[in-house]
Every structure is written in C-alpha cells, then in structure tokens.
Amino acid sequence: MATGKVYFELQERKIEVPAGTNLLQAAALADVLIEGDCGGKGTCGKCRIKILTGGSGKITPAEKRLFSPEELAAGWVLACRQKVTGDLDLVIETSGARDDVISKTRQKRQAPGAALDPSVRKYYRSLSLPAPDDRTPDLERLVNSLPGRGIEADLGVVAGLPRLLRQAGFKITAVLAGNRIVAVEPGNTCGRAYGLALDLGTTTLAGYLVDLVRGEVAAISVSCNPQAVFGADVISRIRHAAYNEDGLHQLQEKMLDAVNGIIRRLQDQALIQNEEIYETIVVGNTTMIHLFLGVEPSNLALAPFIPAFNRSLELRSAELRLRLPPAGRILILPSVAGFVGSDTVAMLLAAKLDRCENVCLAVDIGTNGEVALADRDRILVCSSAAGPAFEGYHIEYGMRAVEGAIDSVVIGQDVQLGVIGGTAPRGICGSGLIDAVAGMLKAGIIDSAGRFVESEPDRAGLYPGLRSRLLKNGSGAGFLLAPGRLTATGKDIVITQKDIKELQLAKAAIAAGVRVLLQEMGISAGGIHEVLLAGAFGSHVKKESALAIGLLPPVSPYRIKSIGNAAGDGAILCLISRAERTRALSLGSRVEHIDLSSRADFYDKFVDALPFPDLTD
C-alpha cells in the first residue's frame, strides 16, 4: 500500500499515512487539532491550512469558492479536501492558518435570552493603605471591602496577594465566583470577564466563550472528541477504560488535551487571556462527564447501569489539567441517570421545560434519543435506544452526514436528491433516509407496514418514473435512489426493505418513548402544545418527513420548532444568569426519570409504533 509522509511544521509532528488519507484525518492521527465543524464536508471552511511543500495541486470547487486567487497561489487549501498522494512528502503550516481562518470564520452568536446576572462578579476597589494604625492583613483588607459574608479565597490567590496589592497601589479588581475570590487583578478590569460553556459529546466537543459583561457569545470552537481513537461509541470507550490499566487516564488526557485546544482557540479568536476565564460550566452525556473527570465509568456499561454520581460537582480548575486560572471554578451540571446526562438537563433548561404553561415535548434524536415531556407541574424524561440508523449506520448505503451523503430526498413524479457538498452521491444519511421513506409512503411505494407494494393495481398507480425504480433482486425488494452511472462509487444507491425495517425500529423506539411519557402524564398526543427538536439532527430533519414516518406524534408542523444546540445554550444560560443556574441545579432532582427498560408496557408501545402512520387517515 502506498503511503505518504506529512510533516506539521508548527507542532513538529511527522506522520506516515496511507495514500488517499485526507489531511484532516492525517492531522487527527498526528494529534494535531485542526479546527472544523462541518465534519469534513468542505462547507464550513474552517480547516484551512497552508501547504508549504508537496501537495497534489488539485483545487476542489469548495476551495475555489472559499479562497481568493492570491490565497490559492500561496498554498491555502482545506485540510478536508486534500489527500495524501503517496508520491510526495507534505509540509503543512497550521499556525498562520489559525489566525487567518478565525478572522474569516469567527462566529458571534447571541446568547440565549436571560437577564444578565452572572455568578462571576468583579469589584474594583481602591483600598486604604496599610498604616501603623491600620494593620489589617491584606486578605482581610480586601474581603472587608467586598459585599456579602463568608467570602473565601483560594490559596493561590492569597499567595500572590501581598505583591499584587502593592504593585497595583492597592487599586485592584477582585473577581468573585459566588462566595469565592478566584482572582485579583491590578487596576480596574471590570469591563472584561469571561466564562466557558463546555458541551462534551461522544463525537464532538464544543466550547462557547461567553462575555459575562455583555452577555454574549464571544467565540465558539468545536473539535472532534479525540477519544474516538479508542472507539466511536461510549461502550467501547468504557471497555477501553476497564480493560487497560492506564485506559481511563488515557481517555481523560485525550479529552483534556482537546478541551485545552478549544480554550486556546477561543482565546485566540476573542483576543483574551485564559486567565480571564473565571468559570466553566460543563455538560455532557453521563459517560463523557465521567471520563472528563477521570471517574471510573465501567458500571455505566453493566446492568443495572449505575453512574458514580448524578449530583452537580464543583471543582477548582487546578483539580484538572486545564489551561484555566487555577482558582477558577468548574461546575458540572447534574445528570439524571446513566443515559440521561447533564446535557439533557441543560437542554431542558434552554427549552424552559421547567416553566411550561402548556404541555411541551422536547426530543433530542441520536443513537440515544432523549425525550422529555413537561406540563406546569411535572417534567418526565426518558432515554430511548434508537440505535444508529439516524446516523446512517446499519443502512445498506447509509453513511454519516458528510460530503457525498444524500441528505434530502423529494419524491414527486420522479426522485430529486440533495447531496452534501454538491458532489455525486456516495450514500445516504439519516435525514435523507427519513425524507426518502416519507416520500415513498406518500407516493404509495410502501405501505404503512413498511412493505413495498407488490400487487399490480398498486404498482400501476405509481408514476412511471417511480415504478421503474422499484427493484426486485436477490436480497429482496428495493427502491433505486441513484443509478450507478450517477454515483461516486459507480454502484446503485438503493433503499432496501431491510433499511426500512431499521428505520422503523429506530423511529418506533423514539415514538414509544413519547407514548410512555404521554401515558405517564395522562394525556394524548393531541394535548401536546409544542414539540421542540434539539441538536444537530433536529435542525436538519424535515418536520413534515418526521411527522410522515411517525417519528414525531401527530401534531401540526407549525407546533414543531428546532431549538438548535440546546445543551450548549443551557450551559451558557448558567454562566450568564444565577437564576437559570439555580434552576439547572434543581432540575437534576426535579426531573422524573422514566426508565423504559423496566416498563412492562414499553415493548407493547414499541410494537404498536412500528407501522407508519396511515396517510389515508
């Protein structure tokens, strides 16, 4: 197998990889983090690097769109578009790239709405000078000048206080996180204060730098979770921790490295010092939180799936190896159960499910789907193991939502496809699959049981363009989405009978979870006032298609709203509002966790939810 060498100049790392590996993958293998948040689709334009020597010289349409001719001439490319050719060594520069990329792709995002009242507070004080008749010690002098009682200070703060006070002429700014002095700075720095919201996902780690003075998101940085080298899913990572002596430590170190990378990039983007990040709110699924903290996770993978803790934990940054001020506060939001983590709690907070006037359903669809149903009094939550069909796995031609994936399908007289990156299709991702199956249902290609129509009268009713796509081959019935002559692989892309079954299993799991919660609440689907879709999948899936296949309960599409990355928003809310934080902390115990695996009625509801809704109803 041909291989090629890539040398990352700034990091002084060299790696040899198989030809065909793209430079984003090569960087990941070399432990060089290159920013990017479209998952290698060539759309976000973030993974810019400069090829100093080597390279194929082939420029892709994405690069033509994103770079000026001068930049292209200088060697700028997208790491995800360029492959190692095997006959040339590459030398890559990522350093200049980073600043340049950031200035072009900096994202400002409005922080989710809440009155600005952060837990981190700054107080500028011009303290009276010590004198023979005023020998108050430095710390007491400072504390006496601050509002509130029971104020404490970290040893690190006390240690440097004498010098700092005198160098600053006793004109200083004290930074309090709650009742704790986490920093003291010379002069008046009240105009600058930052917090960090971290959302630790199995696949993706997201960091939001929040300006606590202006109440806005100052920068966002996203990276792959580098623990992926130990397995894509939580179970394989838990196994790695369980079966390798240093496994847990390795997993934690990977995560901390990546979070430190995120912090560095946020700093660079927002032009701040990491010492100005006084507080961090952390959310994530229960396993990721365990691994982040170095807490033994193995019982999360063994029945009866007991977490080490659900409660919120408060740490000082120094307890983890993070590039944050040592006395800075780290608050882990509470979890609910082994499969309902603090990310769900944050989602509930952002979705305001603790303040519902009407019945509200919130759904975060993934391999584990979290479903929450709330009214004025109760908040019910369950986690439903939908399996990976929504992520494109276990589907004959399935793939993740990356370049070449069919992500939207419209079935009219014929079939119209949308492909990520605008290239020839290589497969189909979750949202494409839902679209396709919804369209097939509507067009009468499959019946509500998910079976391909077989009778001649049924088939005769189809448009000719669709009828010609119906296949019957050795592996059963199928529907041709794209013939081989139009695909990137040269092979047909087909929706098979098995694919439809997989989708039915996945959507039935979610739908049955919804039905259990509705029954627990004592209402029917008609009583749902609003459906909130959280997360990336929730933003991409077409509401009508989701309704058509019965993934969501029968409500008007106007009642369905995407709320984006609600977990991150919830963490941000906890940074900017003490009231919201108090809500989040109480949510952990307020939420009623409905454990589906112990419900006798879940299986019945699951079976009931397998058929598609009868569109003739």
Sign of the dihedral defined by the CA atoms of residues 176, 179, 181, 182, in that order: negative
- Residue 150 in the binding site for a copy of itself (CB under 8 A): no
Minimum distance, C-beta of residue 492 to a copy of itself, in the bound complex (Å): 46
Which residues have C-beta within 8 Å of that of residue 540, sequence separation ≥ 6?
401, 407, 431
3-state secondary structure of 6: strand
Minimum CB distance to a copy of itself smaller for 134 or for 377? 134
C-beta separation of 151 from 143 below 8 A: yes
- Quick one: which segment of 94-102, 181-189, 482-490, 591-599 binds a copy of itself (CB under 8 A)? 591-599
Minimum CB distance to a copy of itself smaller for 139 or for 609? 139
- Residue 554 in the binding site for a copy of itself (CB under 8 A): no
Number of residues engaging a copy of itself in binding (CB under 8 A): 44
- Quick one: which segment of 25-33, 130-138, 377-385, 547-555 binds a copy of itself (CB under 8 A)? 130-138
- Residue 148 in the binding site for a copy of itself (CB under 8 A): no
Minimum CB distance to a copy of itself smaller for 249 or for 376? 249
Listed in order, strand segments (DSSP E) in 462-509 are: 470-473, 476-482, 493-496
- Token match 């934690």: residue? 252
Instruction: Indicate which single residue of 162, 169, 422, 465 sits in contact with a copy of itself (rule: CB under 8 A).
Output: 162
Listed in order, strand segments (DSSP E) in 474-586 are: 476-482, 493-496, 530-534, 560-564
- Residue 293 in the binding site for a copy of itself (CB under 8 A): yes
Instruction: Indicate which single residue of 60, 298, 489, 562 sits in contact with a copy of itself (rule: CB under 8 A).
Output: 298
Name the helix (H) or strand (E) containing 162. Answer: helix 155-167
Minimum distance, C-beta of residue 167 to a copy of itself, in the bound complex (Å): 11
State the DSSP code for 228. Answer: G
The dihedral over CA atoms of 538, 540, 542, 545, expressed in degrees to the nearest 10, equals -70
Minimum CB distance to a copy of itself smaller for 81 or for 237? 237
Instruction: Indicate which single residue of 57, 113, 160, 557 sits in contact with a copy of itself (rule: CB under 8 A).
Output: 160
Spatial separation of the C-alpha atoms in residues 569 and 577, rounded to whole Å: 12
Minimum CB distance to a copy of itself smaller for 123 or for 305? 305
Q: Which of residues 430-469 bind a copy of itself (CB under 8 A)?
A: none
- Quick one: which segment of 153-161, 183-191, 403-411, 517-525 binds a copy of itself (CB under 8 A)? 153-161
C-beta separation of 123 from 176 below 8 A: yes
Minimum CB distance to a copy of itself smaller for 224 or for 327? 327
Spatial separation of the C-alpha atoms in residues 13 and 307, rounded to whole Å: 38
Instruction: Indicate which single residue of 304, 457, 464, 522 sits in contact with a copy of itself (rule: CB under 8 A).
Output: 304
Site string (338-357) toward a copy of itself, x via CB under 8 A = x-------------------
Listed in order, strand segments (DSSP E) in 154-311 are: 171-177, 180-186, 194-200, 204-211, 216-224, 277-284
- Residue 138 in the binding site for a copy of itself (CB under 8 A): yes
- Quick one: which segment of 109-117, 162-170, 218-226, 256-264 binds a copy of itself (CB under 8 A)? 162-170
Minimum distance, C-beta of residue 332 to a copy of itself, in the bound complex (Å): 10
State the DSSP code for 613. Answer: P
Q: Which of residues 165-194 bind a copy of itself (CB under 8 A)?
A: 166
Spatial separation of the C-alpha atoms in residues 471 and 487, rounded to whole Å: 17
In the sheet that holds 470-473, the strands lie side by side as 470-473, 476-482, 493-496
C-beta separation of 362 from 348 below 8 A: yes
Spatial separation of the C-alpha atoms in residues 442 and 545, rounded to whole Å: 10
Q: How many CA atoms lie within 13 A of 486 on its CB side?
A: 13
Minimum CB distance to a copy of itself smaller for 165 or for 609? 165
- Residue 299 in the binding site for a copy of itself (CB under 8 A): yes
Minimum CB distance to a copy of itself smaller for 162 or for 484? 162
- Residue 64 in the binding site for a copy of itself (CB under 8 A): no
Minimum distance, C-beta of residue 36 to a copy of itself, in the bound complex (Å): 32
Q: Which of residues 305-334 bind a copy of itself (CB under 8 A)?
A: 305-311, 313, 315, 318-319
Reduce the secondary structure of 277-327 to three states and give it as a string. Answer: EEEEEEEECHHHHHHHHCCCCHHHCCCCCCCCCCCCEEEEHHHCCCCCCCC
- Residue 303 in the binding site for a copy of itself (CB under 8 A): yes
C-beta separation of 206 from 280 below 8 A: no
- Residue 385 in the binding site for a copy of itself (CB under 8 A): no
CA angle 203, 208, 212 (to 5 degrees): 160
Minimum distance, C-beta of residue 155 to a copy of itself, in the bound complex (Å): 6
- Residue 597 in the binding site for a copy of itself (CB under 8 A): yes
Instruction: Indicate which single residue of 102, 161, 196, 563 sits in contact with a copy of itself (rule: CB under 8 A).
Output: 161
- Residue 600 in the binding site for a copy of itself (CB under 8 A): no
Minimum CB distance to a copy of itself smaller for 160 or for 422? 160
Minimum CB distance to a copy of itself smaller for 288 or for 389? 288
- Residue 595 in the binding site for a copy of itself (CB under 8 A): yes
Sign of the dihedral defined by the CA atoms of residues 270, 573, 339, 525, in that order: negative
- Residue 203 in the binding site for a copy of itself (CB under 8 A): no
Locate 115 and state its tokens: 């009155």
Minimum CB distance to a copy of itself smaller for 227 or for 565? 227
The residues binding a copy of itself (CB under 8 A) are: 130-140, 155, 158-163, 166, 293-299, 303-311, 313, 315, 318-319, 337-338, 595, 597-598
